[in-house]
Structure formats: C-alpha cells, structure tokens
Amino acid sequence: MSQPDKLNILVTDDHTLFRRGTMMLLESFNEVGQVDEAENGKDALEKLTDNAFDLILLDLEMPVMDGWETAKKITAKHPEVKIIMISMHDSLQIISDLIEIGVHSYLLKNAEPEEVHRAIISVVNNDFYYNQLVSKALHKKVQKDGIDKGLARRADISPREIEVLQLICQELTMKEIGEKLFLSEQTIHTHRKNLMKKTKAKNAVGLVKFAFQNGIAAI
C-alpha cells in the first residue's frame, strides 16, 4: 500500500526494458507511492477499472490499443486520471491533437529524469506541464487558426475569470492563484470549473490553449 498523499502512477508501454526502467525512476521520487505497469492500452484500462491511479505515463505507439485510443477512453471513463503521453515523435500536430482530446502533457522518451519529475508534479498540481514541445505546438495552433478575441466574449467570460485564466497560464497552482487574488482555493477551483465549461476545455492545458488563441494571454 502507498503512503497517504503519495502519488499512484501507472506506466503503460509495450517495451519491457523501458517500462521497468521508468518504474524504477518513478519509485525514486519522494512524492510517488505505488507504481504499476501495463503493456498496452487494453491492459491499462483494465487496471484503471480495478485500481485508483493519480496519473498514467502513456506510450503513444503500442499494439492491441495505442496511446491515442487509450487516452480518449481514459478522458471519457476516468477523467480524474492525469495523462502524460510519452513518445519518440516530436510532431507538433500530434501534440496539438492530443491536447485536444484531453492529454495533460507530452514528453519525449529521451527526456531527462529531472524533467519527468517536474512534469509529474506540475500535472498533478497545475493540471498541465508546459514544456518547449507543448509551447511550440500551441504556438503553431495559434498561427494556423489565428487569434479571435470575439470568441472569448461570446463565451461570456467574466473579468475575474480572465484574471484566473491569465494566472493559470503562468503555471500558478490553485492555492497560489487564490493567495494572489485574495480568494479561497475553493473559489479558484469554482472559477476554473466554470471556465472549462464555458470554453469546452477538457483540462487546464485546454484553457491555456484557449487563452492563447483568444488573446487573453501572450504565448
């Protein structure tokens, strides 16, 4: 059993050596408790049904059920589980599309252990990890679609919600945003929930993308 407040993580990858090495790395992090493994998406979904995990490290390309299909099923059936996609591919279009379906961040398989640690902590605390790849993907998306400030107005976002959204884009936690705005953490959570409903974002990284696309925050 994991200790209280420790993170339970599921590593899903079809390559045993990479999977086991990643598990050993995660077990070295103080914040991590239970680490389990799955060799494909089907296996991962079965484990998510029977166990409580905070986060899944999910390989993009796998047999039986790949990361793409698995991520879509996780966001639909287990929306509380955070997803960090891992892959050797650095396609900005793929990253942008994964963000669309609700993935919280994206790491290359050659990422340094320190970045893996940062990504896990940021995704758990902030709902996303904003690294260079994700930044480039969002920037390309904004360049392609353009900035439409009218979209934000049509979403009926209040001035306070815009303040909260701008601070989310600065990677502040809900607690830090509350302290900055002199509001309770619960109030900030409510604002974020309302923002996600108004913008149809699946998570905080979706809110960040919306903010960039609509000129609410600078990319």
Cβ contacts of residue 131 below 8 Å, gap of 6+? 105, 106, 107, 115, 119
Decide if pLDDT at 153 tops 80: no
Could you tell me if 178 and 188 are in contact, meaning their C-beta atoms sit under 8 angstroms apart?
yes
Residue 7, φ and ψ in degrees, nearest 5:
-85, 135
Handedness of CA 183, 204, 130, 83 (dihedral sign): positive
- My answer on whether 128 and 153 are in the same domain is no
Write down the number of H helices and E strands in the chain. 11, 5
My answer on whether 90 and 153 are in the same domain is no
In this structure, the answer to whether residues 88 and 152 fall within a common structural domain is no
Q: Residues 110, 31: one domain?
A: yes
pLDDT, tens only, 92-128: 999 989 988 999 999 999 999 999 999 999 999 889 9
Residue 184: C-alpha distances to residues 44, 68, 126, 190, 198 (Å): 36, 37, 16, 10, 21
Q: What is the CATH number of the domain that holds 169?
A: 1.10.10.10
**pLDDT at res. 23:** 97
Q: pLDDT of 68-96, one tens digit each?
A: 999 999 999 999 999 999 999 999 999 98
Task: Please check the confidence at residue 147 and state whether its pLDDT lies above 80.
Answer: no
Tokens of 123: 């995704």
**Look-up of token digits 């929930």:** 193
pLDDT for position 1? 38
Share of the chain above pLDDT 90, in %: 64
pTM: 0.85
Q: Give percent of the chain above pLDDT 70.
A: 93
